[in-house]
């Protein structure tokens, strides 16, 4: 019951703090992001890594081969932050993700996907509002939530969804 209450509250809170795809008024201020170098190691731990569709297929799930079946390719649980540069709530979540990547180094991986550049991935997950955060446990089905949340809520989700034994 406690887990279901958390998930319901988690989903409600996120839906109240999200940018919808209709809110695409671009702003002039953009956040500095560290893109993964072309030959970079995408399994580096302790920092957030940006993914494109091809990298996603290798590191997370090859939806082109297994469209109807979830087969996780990773060796650690994963958080994927679907974002856009123009989204203010996404900018609020970005430093939290950086902190979590460092704090949970060796336990989880955190990836970011720019929905403006990776439209195919946004379609695969039916992303309509951002930030959208996908929690992928090592075993079991992924869980999606939408909206900006405070760090303690992400920590609780990591503990209760990703690092459950």
Catalytic residue among 90, 94, 157, 161: 90
Catalytic residue among 87, 127, 134, 162: 87
Active site residue 90: yes
* Cis geometry, peptide bond prior to residue 131 (ω within 30 degrees of 0): yes
**Inter-residue contact 50 to 115 (CB < 8 Å):** no
Active site residue 19: no
Q: Which residues are catalytic?
A: 87, 90
């Amino acid at each position: 019951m406690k887990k279901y209450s958390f998930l319901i509250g988690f989903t409600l809170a996120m839906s109240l703090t999200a940018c919808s795809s209709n809110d695409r008024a671009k702003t002039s201020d953009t956040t500095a992001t560290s893109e993964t170098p072309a030959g970079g190691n995408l399994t580096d731990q302790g920092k957030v890594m940006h993914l494109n569709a091809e990298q996603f297929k290798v590191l997370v799930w090859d939806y082109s081969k297994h469209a109807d079946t979830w087969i996780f390719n990773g060796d650690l649980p994963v958080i994927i932050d679907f974002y856009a540069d123009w989204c203010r709530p996404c900018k609020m979540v970005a430093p939290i993700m950086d902190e979590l990547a460092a704090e949970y180094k060796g336990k989880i991986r955190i990836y970011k996907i720019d929905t403006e550049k990776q439209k195919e991935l946004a379609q695969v997950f039916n992303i309509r509002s951002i930030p959208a955060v996908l929690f992928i446990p090592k075993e079991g089905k992924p869980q999606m939530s939408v909206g900006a949340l405070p760090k303690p809520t992400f920590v609780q989700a990591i503990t209760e969804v990703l690092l459950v034994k």
